[in-house]
Structure 1
Amino acid sequence: MIYPENFEIKIGFAQVREMLSDLCLSPLGRQFVHRMQFLTRHDLILRLLQQTDEFKQLLESDAEIPLQHYFDVTAHLDRAAIVGAFLEVSAIYEIKMSLRTIRGSLKFISGTEEGKFEALKALGANVTVERSLIAALDKVVDDAGAVRDDATPELQRLKRDLIHQQSILRKQIQSILKHAKNEGWTPGDAEPTIRGGRLVIPVIAEHKRRVKGLIHDESNTGQTVYIEPESIFELNNDIKDLENAYHRELIRILVGLTNTLRNFIPELRKAYQYLGLLDFIRAKAAFARRVEGEKPELYKYPHINWKQAFHPLLYLSHRQLGRLTVPMSLTLNRDQRILLISGPNAGGKSVSLKTVGLVQYMLQCGMLIPVEDGSEAGVFQDIFIDIGDEQSIENDLSTYSSHLTNMKKFVTVADKNSLVLIDEFGTGTEPVLGGAIAEAVLQNLNDSKVFGVITTHYTNLKNYAEKTPGIINGAMRYDHKHLQPLYQLEIGKPGSSFAIEIARKIGLPKHIVDKASSLVGKDKIRYDRLLEELESEKLELETKLREVATQERKLKSSVKEYTDLKNYLDESKQDIMREAKGKAKLLLKDANQKIEATIQQIKQNQAEKEATKEARKELETFSAKVREEEPRPAFKRSAGGKALKEGDNVSLIGQDSYGQIVGIKGKTAEVMFGGLKTLVKVDNLEKVEGQLPNLNKKAKAESGYSRGLDITRRMADFNSTLDIRGEYAEDALTKVMNFTDEAIMLGIPEIKIIHGRGNGILRQIVRDYLYSVREVASLGSEAEERGGDGATLAVLK
């Protein structure tokens, strides 16, 4: 039950309904907007909310759901249902295009991901649109709304003949008109025109006898007459006959098409109801997007647990003006059923009450409501409201009498499933009596377990709420220092009207304020002053909390910046190391090639002294260049002139050649540089700190260039293709790992692994492993003619 009858106007829902109507694309959707009403069935409300929420998701995803040609063809279907009647071309066009929209919407929604948009899918579960019907309509009328020339062979022939005859007629009449212009019988700018469905030429009235033919009309001034020349009578007659024949054939086609359409009318009515519902749901979804509407968790019983709710109309108005709307959070449950809101005038009490009424009404009409995600709501069987001036001269009712009439309705009808909204409770009569009656009514409503939101200034009601289970005080906060309302609803404490404080601060004479204070009494003044002090302390605490929150945000931001910087440095380090390794590979490759070339040159010159010297000189020059590019070792040269002994790590002074002393004889030291033993003067050596690489005996026996030759040989012998077909998964993975590691070490740019197709197990193992290797730049299948997905190509960094 909704009370009173003008509830929607009082609460603002009439404006919401009007906005929804404007958002509809067709009269089909507007019909559903007008029929929208307050619902009390939990399952039905939940289904409507789900439909709207799903369509809102579609709109937010910019999905290409058809939103054109939402035609209302109800009148056309009614005419088509009459045997013998036929539809005009424009009606056929509207039916064809709207049926396409219906079919496209059904196809789009049913084709969405499984498990999503289930409510919208269920909406069109029993709706069918035969493709053959759309094809039949399309055969006659094109997408521009014109009749197709080839709708039937006869229509096509008639159209062709008509065009041919019209072409002959135009040529003849142009010839006649040209002659008449030359003779001065017609104006110089005259052109053929149509009169009575016949082609005619304009002739100056004084020369009308000069042109043989039939006069069809004359101008308003009488200076020009329109004559059909005698020589084109037959042509005009032929064209008229063709036009009549064309029209008869078109009517025959439309009659047949209408007869075909008549067989589908029951299915079509259902389809157009679906189109209207889609339009209606889309309008609700569009409105929800405007007001940031959400679908709350819905319970079968009365319940309100809204987070950051706001009045939708106020929100839209403020947004247009660039102002913020202060939201409110509200909880009404079985333990806390009635909220009593107090506070100063113009502080937002009535807006809060209207917000509760409008939002709950919207919800039970199947609309998403402007609350934060995670909110909860329930279903009420009744909503009663007492708001505004209901004075009636006709019924001889004063404002207070009207309030009492409403109270009578509330206390006799409202129960545990009702929501009661009362604004300015108890006003309109002598305060003491009004407060007493209001308290008695409040007690009765509380005893009936009613849910409600009530606004008041009466202290006795605040005190009653403070000590009565089921009722809770609420206050509209007020900045008493600046005399400004904050429009914030605070639950748990009563609010002050701040009447004395406001009077004092706006400059009312002090003796009047003091007199008013004495009349009110010390207890009342102390009570309001306590509320004022609490409000001041709360504002101060909130300021400090905001400062702490700001500092916390700055701290989090700093920590994030530090973390991002650390991650960036770590990534940069890895990139630099990869780049260094790459350069080292290229450097090693160049060094090996240079050594091989030098050895080959010495062999070809049969160790001739001059040629050998020249080759050594080139090698030393290349070595010096390489040393410039090599990274410096981790150890350091020791300061001072310490005596060298066997086993010391040393380097040549001024160079980056490092080795270990094997023995010392006088002023000469025997030093092992890599795998080469050399005699060096002690004065040319200096000791270095740290350990040189620990070379094994085999490595010490090998020379540096022989090691280079070994790597070069491995590069030359390396086969970049690995065949693992027929291998067990574990063995295959081991081979792939070793093969990949060697390819990376040797600097091979691309490798190929043949695993075959089979069940795809080896392919999956190979690709999973290669995806995990950082040095792999990309993966792909071999070309189809060379094995396709039976082989994997990997490009290495």
Structure 2
Amino acid sequence: MYFCFAIDWYTIISNEYNVIYPDNFEQKIEFTRVRQLIADRCFSPLGREKAEEMHFSTSFSEIDALLAQTEEFVRILTEEDDFPANHFFDMRPVLHRIRLEGSWIDQSALFELHRSLQTINAIIAFLRRDEEDPRYPRLMALAGDITTHPEITKMIDIILDDFGQIKDHASARLAEIRRELTSAASSISRSLNTILRKAQDEGYVEKDVSPSMRDGRLVIPVNPSFKRKIRGIVHDESASGKTVFIEPAEVVEANNRIRELEGEERREIIRILAEFTAWLRPLLPELLQSYEFLAKIDLIQAKAAFAKQIGAIRPSLSDERLIDWVEAVHPLLYLSLKKQNRRTVPLDISLERENRILVISGPNAGGKSVCLKTVGLLQYMVQCGLLIPLKENSRVGIFNDIFIDIGDEQSIENDLSTYSSHLMNMKYFERHCSDGTLLLIDEFGSGTEPQIGAAIAEALLDRFNNKRSFGVITTHYQNLKRYAHEHEGVVNGAMLYDRHEMQPLFRLSIGNPGSSFAVEIARKIGLPEEVIAHASEIVGSEYINMDKYLLDIARDKRYWER
């Protein structure tokens, strides 16, 4: 089992009440991928636009409402077969365009308007079933202010047939025009067939030839050598030059009449559509509200579909600073490993008033960063109103701010080294963190000379603790493990490692620090024993004994858990 993450850039998400830091926070925790997966499950641009608008909230009532709506839709996906899920068309550009006097809706847009309004009306009817005891009260509340206009679809039914074509009887004049068209076309067809049979009898035209259409006019295909035998107008010839298309003189006037009637038909259709649009125009504000409702439903169904895919639930939400998660799972890692038929190791983690900051230590590639990212992603997801994958007995709180420092932030443009960039982040953290802040710091203090790096990290950790901030911090430094052991508010955590198999277990154990297993890993890789012994002499027996002590704690813990 292994972990792999991509890091890019995004935009800052902040307001006067809460801050997500830094500006590429969503990339660092990979929320942009979650956002895209949800957008991909939307039926229309309506929902995809809403997916882009998902934002971090600190309002308990807002978050709770969003989670409840999504949970209700998960039940719909699980228990219902008749939810209207077709024809989620975004008609807002059309509705905005036809606000202008003299404009009209075109035929194809009218057909989409009809079908999407039927969907909206059907969704509202679905949600308003059993209004006395609604099955989906939060979703029904969304539909509360939406006015359905069945008269609109009835009016469109007068104009369009089931295939979106203008009906003959959309107006009396249109019916009359089309009767004339049918009569004229039939007359031309009879005349052409008479001329064609005569030409075939005289050998001017092949026996299997039939009239065809060129430039909207009925013509007869004729061999070029006989084109003067048939009186009429040559309209076209084939690409090979072996056929010319002649409109016999006898049907020219009739064809002209058809062209006139077709022009009249187009003008009458435009008149019908313009008249309908003028009738519809006063209702446009309410219709735009209806499509805003459809957009929300589209996003909610996409969130519910994603929740089902990752096994997410609506957690028990508390309006306090709290993380008490049982078997939490990183959703993107879960999806990736699932494709490989591999299991994701879940995370149990608790941050409360007594133990607000968790210092995680352990070997490289042991899962420390994955734990940190899991906390950041799931907390951000839930405060964006998304269900998250963990057990029902978990408890989830709300934070005002989330700050993260992870990855290589070296900047050539700003002349910042990796460590300087980390210090810039720490400067921001120290200035702005509070008891409502969740801090996520990976490899705390690394990137410079270890002794001073560890000292600065410990001094910062003390400031964060004094400000009663919450956090998950990963490190290899012994002094930070010691600080966590000696100070209230900070607790150690270890990523467990199998010493016999020499491989990480990807399990977090809270209460004791972890070892980096540097000596064991060096020995497994095959580094000469004398090099390992010399290194042990350099760091001193106190350091080695401390690391052995940590190994013994991990070993004893696994023994008693069997």
Q: Same fold (TM over 0.5)?
A: yes
For residues 184 and 454 of structure 1, what CA distance do their matches in structure 2 show?
A: 95
Question: More displaced, 332-341 or 517-526?
Answer: 517-526
Q: Does 1:274 align with 2:293?
A: yes
1:12 corresponds in structure 2 to 30
Shift of 1:189: 4.3
Shift of 1:539: 2.8
Q: Conserved in 1, the CA contact under 8 Å of 2:316 and 2:392? A: no
Residue number among 271, 274, 285 corresponding to 1:252 in the alignment: 271
Secondary structure of 2:386 counterpart:
coil
Which residues of 2 match residues 9-158 of structure 1 at below 5 A? 9-112=27-130, 114-158=133-177
For residues 453 and 176 of structure 2, what CA distance do their matches in structure 1 show?
A: 90
1:593 corresponds in structure 2 to none
Q: Conserved in 2, the CA contact under 8 Å of 1:306 and 1:330? A: yes
For residues 12 and 189 of structure 1, what CA distance do their matches in structure 2 show?
A: 67
Q: Conserved in 1, the CA contact under 8 Å of 2:515 and 2:550? A: yes
Secondary structure of 2:50 counterpart:
helix
Residue number among 521, 532, 540 corresponding to 2:551 in the alignment: 532
Which residues of 2 match residues 78-477 of structure 1 at below 5 A? 78-112=96-130, 114-477=133-496
Q: Conserved in 2, the CA contact under 8 Å of 1:159 and 1:246? A: yes
Q: Kindly indicate whether structure 1 or structure 2 has the higher relative contact order, using CA contacts under 8 Å at least 6 residues apart.
A: 2
- For residues 486-515 of structure 1, the C-alpha deviation after alignment (integer angstroms, 9 at most, x for no partner) is 100111110000111121233221111111
Q: Which amino acid aligns with 2:535?
A: A
Aligned alpha-carbon RMSD (Å): 1.5
Structure 2: unaligned runs, 5 residues or longer: 1-18
Secondary structure of 2:234 counterpart:
strand
Q: Conserved in 1, the CA contact under 8 Å of 2:512 and 2:553? A: no
Secondary structure of 2:349 counterpart:
strand
Q: Which amino acid aligns with 1:71?
A: F
Which residues of 2 match residues 656-695 of structure 1 at below 5 A? none
Q: Which amino acid aligns with 1:18?
A: Q
- Report which of the two structures shows the higher radius of gyration computed on alpha carbons: 1
- For residues 561-616 of structure 1, the C-alpha deviation after alignment (integer angstroms, 9 at most, x for no partner) is xxxxxxxxxxxxxxxxxxxxxxxxxxxxxxxxxxxxxxxxxxxxxxxxxxxxxxxx
For residues 379 and 538 of structure 1, what CA distance do their matches in structure 2 show?
A: 32
For residues 85 and 40 of structure 1, what CA distance do their matches in structure 2 show?
A: 45
Q: Conserved in 2, the CA contact under 8 Å of 1:288 and 1:294? A: yes
For residues 28 and 321 of structure 1, what CA distance do their matches in structure 2 show?
A: 34
For residues 505 and 180 of structure 2, what CA distance do their matches in structure 1 show?
A: 81
Shift of 1:188: 4.8
Q: Which amino acid aligns with 1:498?
A: F
Q: Conserved in 1, the CA contact under 8 Å of 2:128 and 2:134? A: no
Residues 280, 112 of structure 1: alpha-carbon distance in 2 compared, 3 angstrom cutoff: farther
Residues 188, 538 of structure 1: alpha-carbon distance in 2 compared, 3 angstrom cutoff: farther
- For residues 548-571 of structure 1, the C-alpha deviation after alignment (integer angstroms, 9 at most, x for no partner) is xxxxxxxxxxxxxxxxxxxxxxxx
Q: Which amino acid aligns with 1:91?
A: A
Q: Conserved in 2, the CA contact under 8 Å of 1:475 and 1:489? A: yes
Q: Which amino acid aligns with 1:49?
A: L
1:755 corresponds in structure 2 to none
Structure 1: unaligned runs, 5 residues or longer: 544-797
Q: Which amino acid aligns with 1:426?
A: G
Q: Conserved in 2, the CA contact under 8 Å of 1:80 and 1:261? A: no
| TM-score normalized by the length of structure 1 | 0.67
1:781 corresponds in structure 2 to none
- For residues 370-409 of structure 1, the C-alpha deviation after alignment (integer angstroms, 9 at most, x for no partner) is 1111221111111110000001111111111111110000
Question: More displaced, 230-239 or 277-286?
Answer: 230-239
Secondary structure of 1:184 counterpart:
coil
Q: Which amino acid aligns with 2:246?
A: I
Secondary structure of 2:120 counterpart:
helix
Q: Which amino acid aligns with 2:90?
A: D
For residues 294 and 246 of structure 1, what CA distance do their matches in structure 2 show?
A: 57
For residues 380 and 190 of structure 1, what CA distance do their matches in structure 2 show?
A: 80
Q: Conserved in 1, the CA contact under 8 Å of 2:317 and 2:395? A: yes
| TM-score normalized by the length of structure 2 | 0.94
For residues 94 and 74 of structure 1, what CA distance do their matches in structure 2 show?
A: 11
Q: Conserved in 1, the CA contact under 8 Å of 2:419 and 2:448? A: yes
Residue number among 510, 514, 518 corresponding to 2:529 in the alignment: 510
Question: More displaced, 231-240 or 509-518?
Answer: 231-240
For residues 524 and 96 of structure 1, what CA distance do their matches in structure 2 show?
A: 75
- For residues 95-119 of structure 1, the C-alpha deviation after alignment (integer angstroms, 9 at most, x for no partner) is 1100000000000011057153111
For residues 305 and 143 of structure 1, what CA distance do their matches in structure 2 show?
A: 55
Secondary structure of 1:209 counterpart:
helix
Secondary structure of 1:337 counterpart:
strand
Residue number among 503, 507, 510 corresponding to 1:491 in the alignment: 510
For residues 378 and 118 of structure 2, what CA distance do their matches in structure 1 show?
A: 37
Residues matched between the structures, number: 543
- For residues 750-783 of structure 1, the C-alpha deviation after alignment (integer angstroms, 9 at most, x for no partner) is xxxxxxxxxxxxxxxxxxxxxxxxxxxxxxxxxx
Secondary structure of 2:179 counterpart:
helix
- For residues 145-167 of structure 1, the C-alpha deviation after alignment (integer angstroms, 9 at most, x for no partner) is 11122223332333233223322
- For residues 193-234 of structure 1, the C-alpha deviation after alignment (integer angstroms, 9 at most, x for no partner) is 222221111212221111101111223343322110011123
Secondary structure of 2:229 counterpart:
coil
Secondary structure of 1:201 counterpart:
strand
- For residues 690-717 of structure 1, the C-alpha deviation after alignment (integer angstroms, 9 at most, x for no partner) is xxxxxxxxxxxxxxxxxxxxxxxxxxxx
